[in-house]
Amino acid sequence: MIGIAPLEARHREAWDALVAAYPAGGFMQSWAWARFKELEGYDVVGLGLFEGERLTGGALAYGFPSPAEAGLLAVPDGPLLDWDAPDAGDTFERLVATLRRSPPGRQAVVLRVEPRLALGGAGELPAPLRGLARSPVDLVPEETLQVELGPEPEMLARMKPKGRYNARLALRRGVEVVSSLEPGDVHELYRVLEETADYHGFLLEPKSFFINLVQALVPQTGRLAFARYKGITLAAALTVHHGDTVTFLYGGHVPLFAQLMASYALHWHLMREAARDGYRVYDFYAYVPADRVDHAYAGFSRFKEKFGGRPVRRVGSRDVIFYDRLTDAALGALRTASTRPRAPLTKAAEVVR
């Protein structure tokens, strides 16, 4: 039987190697990401699945102290286990039970899991996930667009004509794209992200988040890139390099010199660089199909399509709801509400009485 035990510092390399090689894993299960979440104030618990001494799977789970006294424990990009194994259900249940008992899990009313499993042809879920509640949000986007990397002519051939044209146009017009491994360039990245968020009305994490993020990822697994025109940064990106995939995690462009197509140059640069470095996939990270015209990502998705790529739909995140704890919390809240000061009676109420 597969054993479950806490992951320790000595397991770091083995764990990271496992996550990098695991088809349904992702960088949010990496040790570096866990350290980043700790900087952000999350409580992290790591559990490994062991066959004897051999680490075969597990989960890094994140909880956050909540003033609501009932919280959530999340396993983005995980857990890692063989979902098709005959005992997958049993393994998953035991993993859930152990996470529930962990220090950050003790306050959890919901455990949110999010393995990067592709959705089956008939929309089938792996057996252990069937019956779980669909989460209201996905920490890792359910649908993405993945571009196959390879020799440049092949990548160009797979791009849409408009994408090829605009990427070349940007370079002809003098847009230069540089990559950076300097964490200090986070300030420039943030400036671009802030302008992008303002312009498009998105919520953006505070700057301290990005300082911690860049410090955690760059240069080991993260990279920055800037598309500039005559020294003015028009577009920027933060990518994560993990396994055989480069993921476009954050990026934006300022509303300036739109005719220069700087964003096209930026992504083309990132794809070429990733291919040159031996990565097989460029993941655009969040995408919606063309029929979702009202979605906030519709415009970005049409842009991303110009680089070729195929949509990949994943199972999305699922919630294991601990109904006993949910009930405790709800009944406790009812008691609190019932013992609060009464609403003052209105005059009419007195008349009626």
Partner 1 sequence: MSHVYLETRNGALRLYLNGDLQLDSHDERLYHEPLASVPTALASARAPRRPLRVLILGGGDGLALREVLRFPGVREVHLVDRDPAVLRIGETALAELNRGAFRDGRVRVHVKDARDFLPEARGFDVVIHDLTYPGDVAGAALHTVAAYGQVRAALRPGGILAVNSLSPEDTPQAFGCVGRTLVATGFSALPHSVRVPSFEDEGYGRWGFYFASSRPIGLRELRRLRLPDGVALTPAGFLGGLAFPVAMARSMRVAPNRTSELLYHVYNGTPVRWAEPFRRLRIAPVPEVAGPRLTVADGFARWLRAPAGRRSLEELLACLPLSWRGQTRYALLEWSYQAEILLQQADVRAFVDQALRRAADLPRAWVRELRRLQARLREGVPPMNELLYHGYRVFAVYLLVLLLVNLFFPDNLYAKGFSSSSSSSRSFSSSSGSSSPFHGFAFSDPGSHYSTFRYRPAFYRRSYSSSTSDNVYDPEGKPQPALRFSFTDPQGNRRPVAAMMALTPELQLFETGAIGCTPPVPGYQCLLEPGGVRVLEGAGRPVTTLRPPARLFTDARARTQAQLVSLDRAAADHQRWLDWVGWGTRMPAGQEAASEMEALGSMKRALTTAQGTWSRAGSPPPQATFEPPGRWTALFPGVYLEPSPYATQEPTVVWANADGSLRRQSVQPPAQLADGDRFLFQLLQRRLTEGKDQSLSQPVAQWRAVHGAALDVKPGSS
CB 70 within 8 A of CB 29: no
CA–CA distances in Å: residue 337 to residues 334, 344, 349: 5, 15, 21
- Per CB under 8 A, the list member of 20, 39, 117, 127 interacting with partner 1 is 39
Q: Which of residues 185-244 bind partner 1 (CB under 8 A)?
A: 187, 201-212, 215-216
With contacts defined by CB under 8 A, how many residues of the chain interact with partner 1?
Answer: 84
- Per CB under 8 A, the list member of 270, 286, 312, 320 interacting with partner 1 is 286
Return the number of the residue (35 or 173) whose C-beta is nearest partner 1.
35
Return the number of the residue (122 or 337) whose C-beta is nearest partner 1.
337
CA–CA distances in Å: residue 77 to residues 22, 61, 118, 329: 10, 10, 12, 28
* Cα 42 off chain centre by: 15
Return the number of the residue (232 or 349) whose C-beta is nearest partner 1.
349
Rg of the chain taking only CA atoms, in angstroms: 23
- Per CB under 8 A, the list member of 85, 110, 125, 127 interacting with partner 1 is 110
Site for partner 1 contains 290 (CB under 8 A): no
Return the number of the residue (166 or 317) whose C-beta is nearest partner 1.
317
Q: Which of residues 120-149 bind partner 1 (CB under 8 A)?
A: 133-143
* 245-253/281-283 β-pairing: parallel
Give bridge partners of residue 139 from the DSSP assignment: none
CB 80 within 8 A of CB 86: no
Rounded Cα distance between 139 and 76, Å, is 6
Q: Least Å distance between CB 2 and partner 1? A: 28
Q: Which of residues 303-342 bind partner 1 (CB under 8 A)?
A: 316-317, 319, 321, 323-324, 326-327, 329-331, 333-334, 336-338, 340-342
Q: Which of residues 144-163 bind partner 1 (CB under 8 A)?
A: none
Site for partner 1 contains 259 (CB under 8 A): no
Rounded Cα distance between 350 and 353, Å, is 5
The runs of H, that is alpha helices, within 160-261 are 161-172, 186-200, 207-217
Q: Least Å distance between CB 299 and partner 1? A: 11
Site for partner 1 contains 263 (CB under 8 A): no
| 335-338, long-range: CB < 8 A, 24+ apart | none
Return the number of the residue (166 or 221) whose C-beta is nearest partner 1.
221
Site for partner 1 contains 5 (CB under 8 A): no
Return the number of the residue (181 or 334) whose C-beta is nearest partner 1.
334
Q: Which of residues 64-93 bind partner 1 (CB under 8 A)?
A: 64-72, 74, 76
Return the number of the residue (13 or 152) whose C-beta is nearest partner 1.
13
Nearest Cα neighbor of 108 from 157, 73, 145 is 73
Site for partner 1 contains 283 (CB under 8 A): no
Nearest Cα neighbor of 225 from 123, 124, 233, 112 is 233
